[in-house]
């Protein structure tokens, strides 16, 4: 069950209901104003003036809060109960906050389960060319975590390793939450692709391309014609500030440290 989509659809539907309710109230107000202007004076005895007018449709209750409107397929309370949560005593805002938190936790568990069950971890040039970002993010994350564990098994007290682990926290989150831009993910996947092949020169070259804002592709994936260069120039401008963020700069430096360590232990 995609709870995040369910929440989004429910809130959008409630906003539409609220908008329709507002339009109906405005329409009734205009009709009432028109009736008052055309109302006969006391001296008029026109029968039509005393004839009861057709009753308006029953007005929809004005919601004091969008969340007051229960909607299908599930109300907020029912969605909380799916997570074995008791909504009693919680305000509507607190229910929404709690539900968002539970959905995030559920997505995290699902990602970890997918990561644990993934048997194929190799990143091929075809994978990168096809641009399956979800698969690439999963495999990049799993490879880097595995490499960090190997490093820890060999040098458990390494100060450099401790720095890498701290700096990778944000990177692992971005990979899990799919918050890396497609261009950065492509470059990072290319680095990992070369590391898995023990091509440390290719990994280093790809890292430097990424660090200056270019998109790094495995050899043979991108044409070197005029159109390809033009597209890469546009991408370079969009990624020019990739190192401006201190957090990004730190995990990128740690990627280079992983490249260096991998090369050292295989010699």
> Sorting pLDDT into bands at 50, 70 and 90, what band is 111?
low
The predicted structure's pLDDT at residue 160: 96
Q: Is the pLDDT assigned to residue 30 strictly greater than 70? A: no
The predicted structure's pLDDT at residue 83: 74
Q: Is the pLDDT assigned to residue 258 strictly greater than 70? A: yes
For residues 57-73, give the mean pLDDT: 45
For the stretch 69-99, pLDDT in tens is 444 445 887 777 777 777 788 888 888 887 7
The predicted structure's pLDDT at residue 224: 40
Higher-confidence residue: 155 or 82?
Answer: 155
For residues 1-26, give the mean pLDDT: 62
Q: Is the pLDDT assigned to residue 44 strictly greater than 60? A: no
For residues 42-56, give the mean pLDDT: 44
> Sorting pLDDT into bands at 50, 70 and 90, what band is 260?
very high
Higher-confidence residue: 227 or 7?
Answer: 7
Percentage of the chain lying above the pLDDT 70 cut: 59
Percentage of the chain lying above the pLDDT 90 cut: 39
CA distance 27 to 2: 38
Neighbours of 223 (CB within 10 A): 11
**At what angle are helices 182-196 and 246-265 packed, to 10 degrees?**
10
The predicted structure's pLDDT at residue 13: 63
Whether residue 73 is preceded by a cis peptide bond, meaning omega within 30 degrees of 0, is: yes
In which residue are the tokens 């309710």 written? 21
Which of 43-57, 109-123, 214-228, 248-262 holds the top average pLDDT?
A: 248-262
Least Cα distance to 192 among 143, 150, 242 occurs for: 143
Higher-confidence residue: 13 or 186?
Answer: 186
For the stretch 125-134, pLDDT in tens is 999 999 899 8
Q: Is the pLDDT assigned to residue 180 strictly greater than 70? A: yes
Domains of the chain: 71-117 (no CATH), 125-221+239-266 (1.20.940.10)
Q: Chain centroid to CA 156: how far?
A: 34
Half-sphere exposure of 21 (CA within 13 A, CB side): 15
């Amino acid at each position: 069950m995609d709870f995040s989509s369910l929440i989004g659809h429910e809130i959008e539907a409630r906003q539409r209901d609220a908008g329709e309710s507002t339009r109906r109230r405005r329409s009734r107000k205009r009709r009432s104003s028109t009736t008052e202007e055309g109302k006969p004076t006391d001296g008029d005895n026109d029968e039509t003036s005393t004839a009861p007018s057709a009753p308006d449709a029953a007005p929809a209750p004005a919601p004091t809060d969008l969340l007051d409107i229960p909607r299908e397929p599930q109300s907020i309370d029912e969605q909380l109960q799916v997570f074995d949560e008791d909504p009693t005593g919680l305000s509507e805002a607190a229910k929404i906050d709690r539900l968002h938190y539970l959905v995030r936790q559920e997505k995290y568990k699902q990602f970890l389960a997918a990561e644990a069950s993934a048997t194929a971890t190799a990143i091929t040039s075809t994978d990168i060319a096809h641009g399956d970002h979800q698969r690439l993010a999963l495999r990049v994350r799993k490879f880097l975590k595995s490499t960090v564990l190997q490093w820890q098994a060999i040098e458990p007290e390494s100060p450099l390793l401790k720095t890498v682990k701290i700096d990778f926290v944000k990177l692992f989150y971005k990979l899990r939450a799919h918050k890396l831009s497609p261009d950065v993910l492509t470059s990072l996947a290319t680095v990992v692709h070369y590391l898995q092949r023990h091509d440390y020169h290719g990994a280093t070259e790809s890292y430097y391309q990424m660090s200056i804002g270019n998109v790094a592709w495995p050899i043979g994936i991108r044409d070197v014609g005029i159109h390809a260069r033009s597209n890469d120039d546009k991408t370079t401008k969009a990624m020019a500030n990739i190192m401006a963020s201190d957090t990004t700069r730190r995990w990128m430096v740690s990627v280079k440290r992983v490249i260096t360590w991998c090369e050292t232990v295989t010699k």
